[in-house]
Structure 1
């Protein structure tokens, strides 16, 4: 009986231990997923993040940022006939010869997820879908998205149109730094006024329920609204081959996280995204480790026209740290040995390492805030002799003795001159 009780106790302990260890690990049912910090790009969680999958309409993140970088918002776009042909899925019924501003097309692209708007943008910028796809792939490689290959601007299925969760996080992080892009994707409603071809306004609504929906999903055993506090975008996607895809950005207290979930089933894309975001905000914090031009210390400078250089932090430094270790960050100042003149403003004098236990969290350079020129010596005084003499303990007593002797000699000389004058008048 005692043995049975002991075995049960051990099993309960192990179960409890495993629950505690893995309690904070996010539950993700999607085929692939990733969670990154938007400021630093650090990966906080990943699942199959480098597996090649179909992105569906999350493709339009790249299309949108390229449109913003290559066009003015008030630029007029005449819709070509090619942009209205072969359009499947979501669209805004563009007509050949219709004139819209690039801004209106961007809202149609990123809010309504209009496939015809994506095609119109591509042809307007590059002349053809094929050439625009080349531009998309060039940009992807520039951003480090090396496992991405775009074939079209809208994400309609093509066996060769692929990306990864990791690559999409890189593209999204870049796009969200653009204020125009960020301002568009945070909206879920928009109206396009009448055009030369349409007598009625177009009313757009995003399918990204993270921004607005009260539809309930099950998270942590509870039913809660799909809307997520602090959500600021960015894009949904669906094709039968890609299944449900979602890229999300959430900002809370100046801390922004980005998630990508690919090939999700049903509402799991929202549940997975909630789980990832909850995990990120609960377990990690964006910490300001250093501020640009913060004073470190005055560093002695050998042979300088002034005795020291003012050392300051080169730039702001932020880092993602576990929330439980925020108070355990320590800074270590490392100088580059003996500092000799001349020193120029901005010259690196060392670095500050920020540590948690033995793990490096971040590093930043220490630089000089001042110019220090080399000391100019009198022509009659040899620098090497001065350096040698002035640093010996017996130098100053000898100098004082010499001054006394010189003073005595001067007095003797004055007495002698007085005697000579008296003799002349006798």
Structure 2
């Protein structure tokens, strides 16, 4: 009887373990956060989305945008003088004092690791002269470089304003763009930082629980968290393994625990259930009577257990269908019309022939010019 009981217990444990393994790495059926996105930062493919285009308040994850703009537009070794406006900025702080000086790199580090709002304002003023000018230039930068369409920032730190908004999808695009920059990746991965300022000397520790190791997830490579009452908890996390690099963006989670649970579930799914594919250069696609071709290799990402559905739109956009949603993975040029191509070839051939015919004429005229010049010089010399 005792042996039977032990056997039943072992069976139940084994079954529960098998069930857990079967559930592990599967697509999350729900998120606690109101909005979320996971993106493959190598290919730009959206791997998961929930309310991804909904405008929401980002809180301090705004500083990801401020950081990549500062890295690319500023000199990290330049010295910054702290203004009264920067020193008096409300909210989270690195306790800057009016008139003190430090490098731009130290300010960006303090802004990212300790979410210093005062550091964010000092950065904005140093690069563009004022918060207003910085915000205007930052929005243009994000549109041009990251391709955002539903983002408008009117400050560098993320304190709430009704005109300060983004979407989970746009934040994923911003993070994906930023992670291609070596200096940004270094800043984003900081676990701790020795802060030396006139008003504060301490060791700063990253507030992101996965980055500093409070929640163990070895694949995590960086992150930024945020909170204000209006946006609740926001969280951005990057991670990678031998095959993939992903970014997870979560907006408006009601608790830190919920945000990190959502992040873990999405990372488990994203790092284990997808593979990269390449469409070789020279492939052709047809839609009706129109033909398009790949003028380069195009890489995209798809689930490992599903056959890719690739098609081309009438305007030449190459799209991949995943979870019932089309994603643009490349723009294709049209195959030239055969008649137009033939006429172009004929024109080009005619130009080449005419040049060949005229070449002896040009040569003869050149020789005459040289001979005439020589005779003229000889005559002038004799005189």
Counting only pairs closer than 5 Å after superposition, residues 71-86 of structure 1 correspond to structure 2 as 71-86=74-89
Distance 2:309 2:143 in 1: 37
Distance 2:157 2:329 in 1: 39
Q: Which residue of 2 aligns with 1:396?
A: none
Question: Structure 1 residue 116: deviation in Å?
Answer: 0.5
Is 1:26–1:275's contact at 8 Å kept on the other side of the alignment? Answer: no
TM-score by length of 2: 0.69
Name the SS of the counterpart of 2:122 in structure 1.
helix
Question: Structure 1 residue 202: deviation in Å?
Answer: 3.1
Q: Which residue of 2 aligns with 1:317?
A: 298
Is 1:26–1:279's contact at 8 Å kept on the other side of the alignment? Answer: no
Distance 1:160 1:62 in 2: 16
Q: Which residue of 2 aligns with 1:109?
A: 111
Q: Which residue of 2 aligns with 1:118?
A: 120
- Pair member with larger Rg: 1
Distance 1:362 1:94 in 2: 45
Select which of 181, 184, 207 maps to 2:184. 181
Q: Which residue of 1 aligns with 2:241?
A: 252
Is 2:89–2:117's contact at 8 Å kept on the other side of the alignment? Answer: no
Q: Which residue of 2 aligns with 1:240?
A: 229
Distance 2:233 2:133 in 1: 28
Is 1:140–1:146's contact at 8 Å kept on the other side of the alignment? Answer: no
Question: Structure 1 residue 234: deviation in Å?
Answer: 2.3
Question: Structure 1 residue 140: deviation in Å?
Answer: 2.8
Q: Which residue of 2 aligns with 1:271?
A: 261
Q: Which residue of 2 aligns with 1:207?
A: 207
Distance 1:50 1:174 in 2: 18
Q: Which sections of structure 1, spanning at least 5 residues, go unmatched?
A: 1-18, 215-225, 297-312, 332-352, 366-372, 378-426
Q: 1:73 to 1:254 in 2, by over 3 A?
A: farther
Select which of 34, 38, 47 maps to 1:35. 38
Name the SS of the counterpart of 1:271 in structure 2.
helix
Distance 1:355 1:117 in 2: 43
Question: Structure 1 residue 206: deviation in Å?
Answer: 0.9
CA deviation vs aligned residue, 1:27-82 (integer Å, no higher than 9, x gap): 31101001111112111111111111110000001111111112111111111111
Distance 2:327 2:254 in 1: 39
Is 2:223–2:238's contact at 8 Å kept on the other side of the alignment? Answer: yes
Select which of 273, 276, 299 maps to 1:286. 276
Question: Structure 1 residue 118: deviation in Å?
Answer: 0.2
Distance 1:275 1:71 in 2: 37
Distance 2:125 2:242 in 1: 40
Distance 2:260 2:239 in 1: 13
Is 2:211–2:223's contact at 8 Å kept on the other side of the alignment? Answer: no
Is 1:32–1:48's contact at 8 Å kept on the other side of the alignment? Answer: yes
Is 1:58–1:247's contact at 8 Å kept on the other side of the alignment? Answer: yes
Q: Which sections of structure 2, spanning at least 5 residues, go unmatched?
A: 1-21, 284-293, 311-318, 334-347, 354-383
CA deviation vs aligned residue, 1:197-222 (integer Å, no higher than 9, x gap): 35x633111111122334xxxxxxxx
Question: Structure 1 residue 141: deviation in Å?
Answer: 2.5
Q: Which residue of 1 aligns with 2:97?
A: 95
Distance 1:132 1:329 in 2: 42
Q: 1:119 to 1:183 in 2, by over 3 A?
A: same
Q: Which residue of 1 aligns with 2:143?
A: 141
CA deviation vs aligned residue, 1:373-394 (integer Å, no higher than 9, x gap): 99x99xxxxxxxxxxxxxxxxx
Distance 1:239 1:66 in 2: 23
Q: 1:329 to 1:131 in 2, by over 3 A?
A: closer
Q: Which residue of 2 aligns with 1:262?
A: 251
Q: Which residue of 2 aligns with 1:172?
A: 175
Distance 1:273 1:282 in 2: 14
Q: 1:145 to 1:361 in 2, by over 3 A?
A: closer
Q: 1:317 to 1:127 in 2, by over 3 A?
A: same
Compute the RMSD of aligned alpha carbons. Answer: 3.6
Distance 2:142 2:328 in 1: 29
Instruction: Tell whether 2:226 aligns with 1:227.
Output: no
Distance 1:85 1:286 in 2: 48
Q: Which residue of 1 aligns with 2:134?
A: 132
Distance 2:302 2:308 in 1: 9
Name the SS of the counterpart of 1:30 in structure 2.
coil
Q: 1:66 to 1:330 in 2, by over 3 A?
A: closer
Instruction: Tell whether 2:88 aligns with 1:48.
Output: no
Distance 2:136 2:264 in 1: 35
Question: Structure 1 residue 283: deviation in Å?
Answer: 2.0
Q: 1:202 to 1:288 in 2, by over 3 A?
A: farther
